[in-house]
């Protein structure tokens, strides 16, 4: 640093030259303070989203940096919410990046007392086998009912619960697949 610059940055000189004789304002601001900018500025991209909690459907903007969510805020353009969020919506970043989230499949063997690790592919394969076996074992096809035939074409051996927290497209695939499998016991939070 040149001597002149050094002197210019000396707080006493700044106090006297920057109109802040008591040294309470700009003269005492650190370089960090002077170059401060909103955290959202550092985002690589901003993605439009919708709050995942209740059904008001508040608009959200998701700020992403280095492939991590760094901030979630209300979207002021939304005619539903006008940029506002409740405490839950405001806690969305905490929800999606929080330490409580699980990132690995966990498997509990029958009668076991602890979880085990299991690869995702293996879990998918095992679940598919369970579905096929249970379905085969519990299939109801038709039944004689007097002179008529009752049609069932179903299994009561499998049930599914959930959907209200999920996307429409996901609900569509759940209903479509389970209907094709003959699973009729499909329910969600709408009745709770």
Chain positions 71 to 130 lying near other proteins, rule: CB under 8 A, are 71-96, 98, 100-115, 118, 120, 123-130
Question: Is residue 105 a contact partner of residue 120, using CB atoms and an 8 Å limit?
Answer: yes
1 near other proteins (CB under 8 A):
no
- Give least dist CB 17 to other proteins, A: 16
Residue with tokens 């995942």: 52
Q: Which is nearer to other proteins, 2 or 99 (CB)?
A: 99
Question: Is residue 15 a contact partner of residue 21, using CB atoms and an 8 Å limit?
Answer: yes
Identify the residue among 1, 5, 55, 147 touching other proteins (CB under 8 A). Answer: 55
148 near other proteins (CB under 8 A):
yes
Q: Which is nearer to other proteins, 2 or 33 (CB)?
A: 33
The Cα 99–Cα 94 span in angstroms is: 9
Give the x-and-dash track for 14-53 against other proteins (CB under 8 A). Answer: ---------xxxxxxxx-xx--xxxxxx---x-xxxxxxx
CA 147 to each of CA 87, 142, 143, 144, 150: distance values in angstroms, whole numbers, following the listed order: 62, 13, 11, 7, 10
164 near other proteins (CB under 8 A):
yes
Q: Which is nearer to other proteins, 6 or 115 (CB)?
A: 115
Question: Is residue 78 a contact partner of residue 56, using CB atoms and an 8 Å limit?
Answer: no
Size of the site for other proteins (CB under 8 A): 142
Distance from the first to the final alpha carbon of the chain: 69
DSSP 117: E
Q: Which is nearer to other proteins, 2 or 47 (CB)?
A: 47
């Amino acid at each position: 640093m040149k001597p002149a610059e050094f002197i210019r940055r000396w707080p006493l000189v700044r106090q006297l030259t920057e109109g802040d004789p008591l040294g309470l304002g700009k003269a005492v601001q650190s370089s960090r303070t002077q170059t401060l900018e909103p955290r959202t500025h550092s985002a690589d991209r901003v993605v439009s989203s919708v709050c995942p909690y209740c059904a008001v459907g508040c608009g959200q903007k998701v700020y992403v940096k280095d492939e991590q969510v760094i901030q979630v805020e209300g979207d002021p353009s939304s005619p539903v919410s006008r940029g506002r969020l409740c405490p839950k919506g405001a806690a969305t970043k905490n929800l999606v990046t929080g330490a409580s989230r699980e990132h690995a499949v966990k498997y509990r063997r029958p009668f076991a007392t602890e979880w085990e690790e299991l690869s995702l592919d293996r879990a998918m394969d095992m679940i598919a086998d369970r579905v096929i076996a249970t379905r085969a074992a519990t299939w109801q096809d038709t039944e004689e009912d007097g002179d008529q035939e009752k049609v069932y074409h179903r299994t009561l051996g499998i049930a599914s619960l959930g959907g209200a927290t999920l996307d429409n497209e996901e609900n569509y695939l759940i209903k479509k697949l389970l209907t094709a499998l003959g699973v009729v016991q499909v329910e969600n939070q709408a009745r709770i």
